[in-house]
Structure 1
Amino acid sequence: MTDALHAAMAKATRLTRSGRLDEAATLIRRTLRGGFAPDTSSKTSDSSGQEPIDGSFRVIDDIPQLTPPPDSGESAHGSRHTASASAPSSAFDAAFRSLRTGLGPMMAKPSRTHPDIQAGGQFMAGSFTNPAGTRAYKLYIPSGYHGQALPLIVMLHGCTQDPDDFAAGTRMNVLAEREEFFVLYPEQASEANLSRCWNWFKAGDQHRDHGEPSIIADMTRQIVRTHGINAGRVYVAGLSAGGAMAMVMGVNYPELYAAIGVHSGLPYGAAHDLPSAFAAMQQGETAALLQRESGFPAALKALRIVPTIVFHGDRDTTVHPGNGDRVLTQWATVHSGAGRKLRVTANRGQVPQGHSYTHSIYHDASGQIVMEQWLVHGAGHGWSGGSPQGSYTDPKGPSASEEMLRFFRKHSQGKP
C-alpha cells in the first residue's frame, strides 16, 4: 500500500472509531479519486500473469454471462444487498459501509425469526478456552449418531452473523441430518471484533498456534476427541470473513483439515491490518501486490494442496470476485513449485429460474480433482443457494452447501 493511502486509511479508521463517519468518508473518497480507485469490474482473472496453471480449458453448454449495471448495488435478480432502500452510489460507498461497521457485510438481516434449525438432531451450545482466548460454539449432532466415527464440518460465519443465523442460511444442519455428519459452528466474540468478524486480516491471527487460528484448531480437535469423529474426514468452510479464515486454517493446519470451502472470501496473507483489508476486499493493485509478496509461510510451501472449493458471485461489491481466483492461484503455486501443473476444465450451467454459473475443475497429473471454482453470474455477496431464513444468502444460485458436501466426500486423509 502506498504511504499516502496508508496514512489516509489510518486517519479514516481513527475518524470512524470516533464516530466522525462523514469526515472519514470524505477523506477516503478524496484519496481514492486521487489515483487509487478500486477495480469494480466483474473481470476475475489475475492480471499478474503468474498463474501456474496449464492452459487446458474447455467450455460446455455456453450461456451468456449476466451483466447488471456495475454500480447497481444489487445482483441481477434483485437480491437484498443493502440495509436500506437506497443503493450505494459507487463501489467505494459500498465498501465504506463495510468499513464503518468493522468490515461487516452489507446485506440486511431478515426480519423473521429463524425456523427450526435442529433438523431432528441436537443443536448444542458450548464454550472452548485455550491460551489464546475463549469462544462459544454450537454443535449439531445428527439423530443417527450412536457412537460411530462420523465426519465433521467446521462452519465459520460471516460478519454480524452467529451460529443460529449461519445454520439457518446454509441449511447445513438439514444436510447433516440427512447425510449423518457433525457440524461445528465456532462463534466470534464481540469483544474480539465489534461486528463479530473473524480477524483474518490481523497479522497476529494468521499463524499456526497463535490467536484465533489456534482457538478454532484446538476447538476442532476437542470435538474430534470427545465425539470420536473420523479424524481423516474433518473439513472447514466459511463465508466472507469466515471464508478468509477458512483459508487461514487450511494453510496453517493441512494435517487437520482434509479439504476447505471458501465462499466470498480472500486468499491467505491478503491483508495485515484494517486499511490493507479494505484494499484487498476491493482488489486494488497494492492489495494484489501485498498478497503476492506475503505468500504462504515458508515452512508450508512444500506441503500438499489442501483440496479447496471456492464460491463467489461475480457481482460481489463487498469482496471483489478476483479474490476467489487468487485463492486458487495460491494453491496452484504450491503445486507447481514441485514441478507439477494442474489441468483445468470448465462448463457453464444454469439454475432453473435462477443464476447461470461457470464451474471450473482443477485436476492434478493423476487426474484427481484438487480444486473447484463456482463463479455465480449476477450474484452478489451471499451464500449461494442459501435459505432466505438466514442473512447474506442468495437462494437463486447453485447450492454451495450441497456442492461443498459433495466435494468434501471425495477427499479424506490419514488420521493426523
Structure 2
Amino acid sequence: MTPDFQQMMRNAARLTRSGDLRAATAAIQAALAGTAPAPAPVPAAPRAMRAMADVSDVLAREVPDTNAPAPPGPAANDAPGAGRFIAGSHSDAAGRRDFKLYIPPGAGQRALPLVVMLHGCTQNPDDFAAGTAMNELAAAQGFYVLYPAQSQQANPQRCWNWFKHNHQARGRGEPALLAGMTHEVMTAHTVDADRVYVAGLSAGGAMAAILGNAYPELYAAVGVHSGLAAGSATDLPSALGAMKGGGNPLRTSGSASGVATIVFHGDADTTVHPANGQQVVAASAGRGSSVDVEQLATPGGRAHTRSVHRAPDGTVVAEHWLVHGAAHAWSGGSARGSYTDAHGPDASVEMLRFFMAHPRCQAH
C-alpha cells in the first residue's frame, strides 16, 4: 500500500465519521481506482487493507443487475456418482443472483441436508468454498452446499447489504432473494427440508443472521462467523458504529429468536468488534439461558473459549466460540481461500456438528 493510498483511506474514514457520505464514497472510489490488490489471507494482510475493509465492508449502492444473461440453472435430477460443483442462477421479483452448488457423491438416492454459505466482502463462491473446505466435508458426509454470489452491481465490494433497512426483513430485498434461491435448489434436488442451514463470514455472517431471523421455518440453524446480529444497523453510519463496537440488534430483551445459532469470532478482530458475536448469541438464546463455559485449546494452534447456551429443558440453543488472538478470518480455514486462519479451531467442522444436531423438527 502506498502512503497516498493510506492517506486517502484515512480521509474517507474521517468524512464518514463527519456524516459526509457522498464525499467519503468518492474518496474510497478514488483510492480503489489507483490500486486493486488481490484478496489475501488476513494474517498476512497489511494494516492499510484492514482499514480499507473497515470502510468498504459497508459501502454499497443499488444498481439493477440486468446486464449479464442468466446461466442455466441446476439440473432437476441428481445423477449418483462423483461429486459435482455446478453454476446456476436464480431470478425472482427480488432480483437475480448467480450461485454455485456442490452436489455430493450419491445425491438423489435419499434426501440430504443443504448448507447455504454466504461469502464475505471481495470474495466469491469459489474462493469461499476453497477457504472453508466445505465441499470436501460435503463429499465425506453427504450434503449439498449452496454458495450464492453477490454481484458488483448490487455492491461494489461484493458485500451482502446487511446494513440497509430494505435488506433486513422477510419478503423483500436480499433476504427474499436468498430464501427464494434456497427454495429453488430444494425443489430441483433431493433436499431434506428439515435440515436446511445457513452460515456466513463477515457481511455474509450478518446476512445469515438476518435470514435466520426472517425465515425461521426455512433455516433450522444458523452459523455466524465474524458477523453481526440482525438489525445491528440500518444505514452506513450506524454500520460503521456497529462494526467498531456493537450495534443495536433487533432483539435486545431477554426473549430468544428460537433459531439455533453457532457463532465464531476472533477476539483480535479489528474489522468487526467481538462484542457483535455476543449480541448474535443473545438474540438467539435470550439473556436468561444457562451457560456452560469451557476453556479449550487447538493442538499447536489457538486457545479458545466455548460458551454453550441451554434452554430450560436442557436443549442447546446456541454456542459461542471466542478464538483468542484471531483476527477477521475463517477459523481453521485453508490458505487456498482468502480471509482464513489455519491456526484456530475448525469452524466448518464445528458448525456442521452443531447443524446436524439441530434439525428443524427440534428448532420449531
Normalising by structure 1, we get a TM-score of 0.72
Structure scoring higher RCO (CA < 8 A, sep ≥ 6) equals 1
Structure 1 pair 100–182 and aligned structure 2 pair: CA distance change class (3 A)? closer
The 8 Å contact of residues 147 and 227 in structure 1, kept in 2 or not, is answered as no
1:185 aligns with 2:141: no
1:317 is matched with which residue?
270
Report deviation, 1:16: 2.8
Runs ≥4 residues deviating over 6 A: 20-23
Q: Quote how far apart the aligned CAs of 1:181 are.
A: 0.2
Task: State whether structure 2 residue 319 is matched by structure 1 residue 372.
Answer: yes
How much has 1:20 moved relative to structure 2? 6.8
Aligned partner letter, 2:357: K
The residue type equivalent to 1:18 in the other structure is A
1:404 aligns to 2:351 (yes or no): yes
How far is 1:393 from its partner? 0.2
Tell me how far 1:413 sits from its aligned partner: 1.8
Identity within the alignment, %: 49
Preserved contact between residue 311 and residue 374 of structure 1 (Cα < 8 Å)? yes
Q: Quick check: 1:388 aligned with 2:341?
A: no
Q: Is the 8 A contact 2:99 2:125 kept in 1?
A: yes
Indicate the structure with greater strand content. Answer: 2
Structure 2: which amino acid aligns with 1:384? Answer: S
Larger mean CA deviation between 203-212 and 220-229 belongs to 220-229
Contact 1:384 1:396 in 2 (8 A): yes
Extract unaligned runs of 5+ from structure 2: 1-12, 32-40, 61-80
Q: Which residue of 2 aligns with 1:295?
A: 251
How many Å apart are 1:102 and its aligned residue? 4.7
Task: Give the drift of 1:332.
Answer: 3.0
Contact kept in structure 1, 2:260 and 2:317, CA below 8 Å: yes
Residues paired across the two proteins, number = 322
TM-score, normalised to structure 2, is 0.82
Q: 1:20 and 1:155 mapped to 2: Cα distance?
A: 28
Matches of 2:281 and 2:318, distance apart in 1: 7
Partner residue, 1:14? 22
2:87 maps to 125
Q: Spell out the pairing of 1:233-272 with structure 2 (5 A cutoff).
A: 233-272=195-234
Listed as ranges, the gaps of 5+ residues in structure 1 are 24-78, 105-118
Q: Contact (CA 8 Å) 2:94, 2:176: kept in 1 or not?
A: yes
Cα 1:350–1:274 shift into 2, 3 Å = same
Residue 208 (str. 1) matches residue 176 (str. 2) = no
* Conserved 8 A contact 1:16-1:100: no
Whole-angstrom distance in 1 between the partners of 2:284 and 2:297: 28
Q: Does 2:265 align with 1:307?
A: no
1:95/1:278 contact within 8 Å kept? no
The one of 323, 328, 345 equivalent to 2:281 is: 328
For the aligned residue pairs, the C-alpha RMSD in angstroms reads 2.7
Alpha-carbon separation, structure 1, partners of 2:59 and 2:269: 14
- Whether the aligned pair in 1 keeps the contact of 2:15 and 2:23 (CA below 8 Å) is no
Q: 8 Å contact 2:59–2:156 — kept in the other structure? A: no
> Is the alpha carbon distance of 1:211 and 1:328 closer, same or farther for their aligned partners in structure 2, counting shifts above 3 Å?
same
